[in-house]
Amino acid sequence: MDEPVRDLVVRGCDVLVEPGDLREQVDLVLAGERVAAVGVGAAGVGGSAAGAGARELDGRGLLAIPGLVNAHTHSPENCLRGVGEGLGLEPWLMTMFGAGGDLDAEAHEVTVLAGAAEMLRNGTTSVIDHLWMTPPSPRALDAALRAYAASGMRATVAPLMEDRDVTDQLAAQLGLDVSAGLVTALPEALGTTELLAVLRHAFETWHGAEDGRLRILAGPGGVQWASDELLLGSAELAARHGGGVHIHLLETTVQAAACRAAFGRSGLQRLADLGLVGPGLSLPHSVWIEAADVETIAAGGATVVHNPAANTRLGSGRAPIAALLRAGAHVALGTDGSASSDNQSVWDAMKLAALIHNDADADVWVGSAEVLRMATTGGVRVMARGGGGAAGATADGLGTLRPGAPADFALLDRRVSGLAGAFALEPSLVLSEDGRAVRHVFVAGRQLVADGRCLTIDEADVNGRLRELAQRRARDADPLPAAVARAVGQMRALRQALAERGP
């Protein structure tokens, strides 16, 4: 990865500069790490042209699109695919952590590299990894970030941290004991001071590394799983280092009811009262937000990260994405972890996002252009590249192929079935394409995938190690340890009791 980036001319390709701006049979010109020009004969455009000796690539039959952004995932789950089938989130979570066990530094390296290779081959050039660790430690964090550095992709890591669980207050109202199923009962739970020390290490060691390709966000686990001290301490560290805050919000009715029971208000309103709602805040899930929350998110400039596959797989519900878009809110798109979405395909997430909100009686559906924006510039906002503020979040053009933008893009073969029959390109990208058309992928002008093969990761080696890791986890979790089985039973009982009572 140390060799210099060469200028590049992709001749005669089609270029989707951004949704609504398709240019056909043009040259895409890169000067170093950025797009220099897009247009007919652009390779000869004076000062914006690539330098002498630029590499040339035959672009005939190829379509260039901005690199996709996976705005929410959990890399450790790449060795836990298929876990907890048929369970809602709360019992699934206990099952998943029980099956996952402790992950050492090597496991973090393997799971990151496996996910990075999968994403890169599918044209995803940036990821936001809400990284859970068992327990959180500089050693585990460093292993994950070294792997992202080696992969060449653009990665923003939000170390996931939890120091309380108010679900017990909801359970008390319902006359239930959930002591074994609280996140604070997990053996890897740490205190607030220790967690903030790990986050400080992350910012001081990795934020802005690899010429800005690696970034850090604060990553409290959820509104119901974080004390005021952790929320405010995380936000302060993020602000000091020019980062943002990435926090799960109201994924299930249990979480929404627990926030009401503990705080007397919605989980989003708690964040607003603490002063955290702003352009640097990103909110994965946001399924059970209230009508007033929609307006607060839009007015504050925060970004909701839609995770339709995981929310559907776990029966969590459907986020009010159409309402958020009508209110002018920013929306990004994520796969979530492979234990709940079961792959790292932003293409799958796009198709679901374009389908599950369709309602014959609704005035506005979520269209393909909007979904493409979610999967590109929407995700760029989550990286908080403008220092957590609105200005600069997408100002350099990342997520587009405008001249001057960082050269993160994928080249797709328009002769592959999903695109060959495209009557309308953008709907075909969202509804027909599944990543099979991706041929070449570039990040910051550097080619990471050539003819479908990842150049920076030995996939045969990584997938062999991943298989061993997954098999070991499966053996250790069959049957689940008694303490884990008890926690799963308690959380299933809580969900049932809440369903019978109603939210």
State the SS3 of 47-77: HHCCCCCCEEEECCCEEEEECEEEEEECHHH
Mean pLDDT across the stretch 114-136?
98
Residue 46 has pLDDT above 50, yes or no: no
At residue 485's C-alpha, the angle toward residues 480 and 487, to 5°, is 135
Q: Is residue 148 part of a domain?
A: yes
Q: Which of 159, 128, 138, 155 is nearest to 210 (CA)?
A: 155
Half-sphere exposure (CA, 13 Å, Cβ side) for 250?
A: 24
| Tens-digit pLDDT profile for residues 253-267 | 999 999 999 999 999
Residue 33 has pLDDT above 60, yes or no: yes
Q: Give pLDDT, residue 349.
A: 99
Q: Side chain identity at 488, as an amino acid letter?
A: V
Confidence label for 44 from pLDDT (cuts 50, 70 and 90): low
Range of the domain at 278: 69-382
Q: Is residue 202 part of a domain?
A: yes
The four Cα atoms 134, 139, 141, 142 give a dihedral, to 10 degrees, of -160
Confidence label for 388 from pLDDT (cuts 50, 70 and 90): low
User: How many domains does the chain fold into?
Assistant: 2
- The percentage of the chain sitting over the pLDDT mark of 70, rounded to a whole number, equals 95
Residue tagged 């705080």 (tokens): 263
CATH of the domain at 358: 3.20.20.140
* The pair of three-digit structure tokens given for residue 404, joined into one six-digit string: 């001057």
- What number of other Cβ atoms are within 10 A of residue 480's Cβ? 16
**Whole-angstrom Cα distance, residue 353 to residue 70?**
13
Q: Do 111 and 75 meet the contact criterion of CB atoms below 8 Å apart? A: yes
CATH of the domain at 22: 2.30.40.10
Q: Last residue of a domain, which of 332, 349, 382? A: 382
Residue 393 has pLDDT above 70, yes or no: no
Q: Give pLDDT, residue 49.
A: 57
Q: Which pTM value belongs to this model?
A: 0.96
Mean pLDDT across the stretch 165-171?
96
* Backbone torsions φ then ψ of 417, nearest 5 degrees: -50, -45
Residue 92 has pLDDT above 70, yes or no: yes
Q: Do 90 and 47 meet the contact criterion of CB atoms below 8 Å apart? A: no
Same domain, 169 and 247: yes
Same domain, 375 and 450: no
Residue 291 has pLDDT above 70, yes or no: yes
Q: Last residue of a domain, which of 454, 471, 497? A: 454
Mean pLDDT across the stretch 171-182?
95
Residue 4 has pLDDT above 70, yes or no: no
- What number of other Cβ atoms are within 10 A of residue 395's Cβ? 10
Residue 248 has pLDDT above 50, yes or no: yes
**Lowest mean pLDDT, pick from 101-115, 294-308, 378-392:** 378-392
**Whole-angstrom Cα distance, residue 198 to residue 214?**
17
Q: What is the mean pLDDT of the chain?
A: 94
Residue 171 has pLDDT above 60, yes or no: yes
